Structure 1
């Protein structure tokens, strides 16, 4: 890892701005197109409804409506610095979203249903991204192919140990947000990292 100066060394790695969902905001987000729109704004930066419609294969009317709903629930906000015409530019208000596990067991069936929609869409996105990478990996350099990873592990852990492991993985990943600029910016790409951790009963 490149050397950092003393002042940089002492500074803590900035945490990403994450929105923790409550029952109301979850119900406002739990629509496949809204999740896709929010993801697009987080991944690619500010955009208009027309640009997002073209990118996602939707009508601009549909994207406009769902963008307004996302804004009403505080997930996105206008980007006036980008707006030079009549059409609004939108940007994500947070870097990520966190789902509290209690919402999957909420007394309100609408909230439980929204949690199921949200989680199903996230799983779908992960599967799509992996499928796209496998199909496109031949077009990437040997260095990038060597640097990619598709692994799974089975460990014997308690719930507390698993929680600790997930927390430490997140800390390690977030520490890479604070790296000094690369010597050659052309070598830098957006890297997607998925983590999944869940218990599985032993087969008889």
Structure 2
């Protein structure tokens, strides 16, 4: 894997998880990943927060390596920030045997991600009629039930990620007609059949 590919997805460890598992920090990181570089003031306006709060939490994210300065965007005293990575990987095995603080941070993080996915899907459903027909036909909300072993489930997840990564840089020009950012949620988990 090249360094460029590594920067696209960061594997969370106990230290970085503790630095990220806060609702505003997760929102700030997501806003920078989706909207590109911004100042604390601009992010505060977008998220309905104070610039003092966004500044503090951006510095916390920077101390854990999630964001960095984007000096090429700033003028004078303006401090611009950008996301370092474009995705995060949560591996449950990383946190086996962790103490209660880390387990609590992991639970918070996972539940916040699930809530974010639900909000994003609900927002899409509420606004889908505002989009061109090509976008409504190009969207997907489906589910499948398969019978797999843990090894086959892990293989499927890896193949899905590889497929998605193959589309990452296909539209590189910012002014490409009809190109929009898209969100892809994948969830794979066992279910009880009792």
**TM-score bin, normalised by smaller chain:** over 0.9
SS at match of 1:38: helix
The offset of 1:146, in angstroms, is: 0.7
1:161 equivalenced with 2:128 (yes/no): no
Distance in 2 between residues matched to 1:107 and 1:25, nearest whole Å? 14
1:83 equivalenced with 2:74 (yes/no): yes
| Aligned length, in residue pairs | 190
SS at match of 2:117: helix
Query: What is residue 142 of structure 2 aligned with on the other side?
Result: 151
Distance in 1 between residues matched to 2:40 and 2:128, nearest whole Å? 31
SS at match of 1:81: helix
Query: What is residue 3 of structure 1 aligned with on the other side?
Result: none
Query: What is residue 196 of structure 1 aligned with on the other side?
Result: 187
Query: What is residue 129 of structure 1 aligned with on the other side?
Result: 120
The offset of 1:180, in angstroms, is: 6.0
SS at match of 2:116: helix
Structure 1: runs of 5+ lacking an equivalent: 1-11
SS at match of 2:168: helix
Query: What is residue 37 of structure 1 aligned with on the other side?
Result: 28
- Equivalent position to 1:101, from 75, 85, 92: 92
Contact 2:13 2:95 in 1 (8 A): no
The offset of 1:114, in angstroms, is: 0.5
Distance in 1 between residues matched to 2:80 and 2:171, nearest whole Å? 30
TM-score under structure 1 normalisation?
A: 0.88
Q: Structure 1, residues 96-116: CA drift from partner, whole Å, max 9, x if none? A: 111121245333100000001
Structure 1 runs of 4+ aligned residues shifted over 4 Å read none
1:23 equivalenced with 2:14 (yes/no): yes
Q: Structure 1, residues 26-53: CA drift from partner, whole Å, max 9, x if none? A: 1011101000100000000000001000
Structure 2: runs of 5+ lacking an equivalent: none
Distance in 2 between residues matched to 1:20 and 1:45, nearest whole Å? 21
Contact 1:103 1:111 in 2 (8 A): no
Distance in 2 between residues matched to 1:26 and 1:107, nearest whole Å? 12
Distance in 2 between residues matched to 1:57 and 1:106, nearest whole Å? 38
Pair 1:55–1:106, CA change in 2 (3 A): farther
RMSD value over aligned CA atoms?
1.7
Distance in 1 between residues matched to 2:82 and 2:171, nearest whole Å? 25
